[in-house]
């Protein structure tokens, strides 16, 4: 999902004045309601959810910027907009300074991963203070939007390239290491990396409180194999690994985890 595709021009307001944080949140709710896709959700509902989120901690993260957001069970799509407040408004910001630029997000309660992606994308796009100042000083919404979109050259779609899994294999048994590694060679998987590790005992043994708990200070074998592979090969990989190790759930010297990445692209060499 590209940020540029969910940033609604009709939800952008410039040169607005607010006399309090409460008024600003009401203004955000009203701006969000400009999106026809929120027609079935009342402005009051959006405001109450914004207020409830602020009660958990301010979304005014400093440098004159706030990103209030509202997660609604009844929302089916994301609405992103922003409001410029040239005179500033007190927003309980972390640095104690007034807020001059208010970005906002209204979206489905269940879309946590996308929420994080959108929040991150907005915050990263506002790192350049000179651009932020230009947005705040913009004479109209078209100019403000143009300045912001100029920061989105690296805006990428996260709807593609998700047909892979990340397989992490933590090994404390040296006998398994090469046979397990060979599983992925046989499967012609190229996205394989090996990381050296240490067990926590090697560090705890050096602390006075835990001295003497481990009499054998020799380094225990500890490696992690990280594999990026096609989803349709994952079950076959696990089957072949268990041919080497036996049932993984019965072992005390290895852990296997599988992650489904939100976005992944690129390749590694063996």
Beta-carbon neighbour count of residue 239 at 10 Å?
A: 10
CA–CA distances in Å: residue 73 to residues 46, 76, 78, 168: 11, 8, 12, 34
Whether 69 is catalytic is: yes
Beta bridge partners of 196: 223
Identify the CA nearest to 78 among candidates 22, 158, 191, 174. Answer: 158
Residues 187 and 235 sit within 8 Å (Cβ to Cβ): no
Among residues 26, 69, 124, 161, the one annotated as catalytic is 69
- What does the radius of gyration of the chain's CA atoms come to, in whole angstroms? 25
81 Cβ contact list (under 8 Å, min separation 6): 7, 8, 10, 11, 12, 13, 31, 32, 34, 35, 103, 104
Handedness of CA 76, 145, 65, 16 (dihedral sign): negative
Q: For residue 239, which of 186, 200, 192, 196 has the smallest C-alpha distance?
A: 186
Alpha-helical regions (H) of 94-128: 112-125
Catalytically active residues are 69
């Amino acid at each position: 999902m590209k940020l540029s595709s969910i940033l609604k021009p009709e939800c952008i307001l410039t040169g607005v004045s607010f006399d309090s944080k409460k008024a600003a949140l009401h203004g955000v709710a009203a701006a969000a309601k400009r999106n026809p896709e929120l027609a079935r959700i009342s402005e009051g509902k959006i405001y109450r959810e914004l207020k409830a989120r602020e009660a958990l901690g301010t979304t005014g993260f400093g440098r004159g910027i706030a990103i209030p957001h509202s997660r609604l069970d009844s929302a089916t799509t994301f609405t992103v907009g922003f409001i410029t407040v040239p005179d500033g408004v007190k927003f309980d910001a972390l640095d104690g300074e007034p807020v001059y630029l208010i970005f906002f997000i209204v979206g489905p309660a269940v879309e946590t991963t996308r929420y994080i992606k959108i929040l991150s994308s907005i915050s990263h796009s506002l790192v350049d203070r000179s651009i932020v100042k230009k947005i705040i000083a913009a004479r109209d919404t078209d100019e403000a939007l143009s300045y912001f979109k100029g920061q989105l050259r690296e805006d990428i779609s996260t709807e593609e390239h998700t047909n892979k899994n990340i397989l992490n294999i933590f090994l404390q048994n040296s006998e398994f290491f090469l046979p397990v590694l060979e599983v992925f060679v046989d499967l012609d998987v190229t996205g394989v990396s090996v990381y050296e590790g240490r067990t926590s005992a090697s560090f705890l043994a050096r602390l006075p409180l835990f001295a003497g708990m481990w009499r054998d200070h020799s380094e225990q074998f500890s490696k992690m194999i990280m594999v990026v592979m096609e989803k349709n090969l994952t079950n076959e990989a696990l089957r072949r690994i268990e041919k080497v190790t036996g049932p993984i759930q019965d072992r005390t010297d290895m852990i296997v985890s599988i992650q489904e990445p939100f976005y992944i692209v690129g390749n590694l060499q063996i």
